[in-house]
């Protein structure tokens, strides 16, 4: 499978996340559990949940197109994040571009009442 993002885009992503240099040998990142953990932590800390496009754009919809996600989250330099699907798919694509084996899955949630799980799981239609 070919990578969706170029080496320059991957480097831009790692710079955007401010991944520490200790996770590199030369210019290449070390693809191990420690690096994956740091990527996840930095992704969560750097790329916010963001639904501004749904409310403040003329079209009021999101795109999951990889290059548009890169532009919005990294290249524009505006500190934007994405709606859950945008951020998660973007991270999936980047992990693949780095060389990790990743696949997306759907999720369901169970709502809580006073902190206690309550009711049915929602999110996917049976």
Q: What is the pLDDT of residues 18-70, one digit of tens each?
A: 999 888 877 788 899 999 999 999 999 999 998 877 788 788 788 899 999 99
Neighbours of 88 (CB within 10 A): 16
What is the per-residue pLDDT for 90?
96
Torsion of CA 56, 60, 61, 66, to 10 degrees: -40
What structural domains and CATH numbers belong to the chain? 7-103 (3.30.2140.10)
Q: By the 8 A CB rule, do 83 and 62 touch?
A: yes
Q: Report in angstroms the alpha-carbon separations of 84 from 8, 47, 50, 89, 113.
A: 25, 11, 8, 8, 23
Phi/psi of residue 25, nearest 5 degrees: -115, 110
């Amino acid at each position: 499978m070919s990578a969706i993002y170029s080496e320059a885009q991957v480097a831009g992503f790692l710079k955007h996340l401010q991944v520490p240099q200790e996770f590199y040998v030369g210019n290449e990142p070390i693809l191990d559990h420690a690096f994956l953990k740091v990527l996840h932590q930095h992704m969560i800390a750097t790329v916010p949940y963001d639904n501004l496009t749904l409310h403040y754009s003329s079209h009021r919809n999101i795109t999951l197109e990889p290059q548009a996600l890169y532009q919005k989250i990294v290249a524009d330099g505006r500190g934007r994040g994405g709606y859950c699907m945008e951020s998660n798919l973007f991270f999936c694509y980047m992990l693949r571009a780095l060389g990790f084996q990743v696949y997306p899955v759907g999720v369901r949630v169970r709502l809580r009442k006073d902190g206690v799980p309550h009711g049915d799981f929602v999110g996917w239609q049976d």
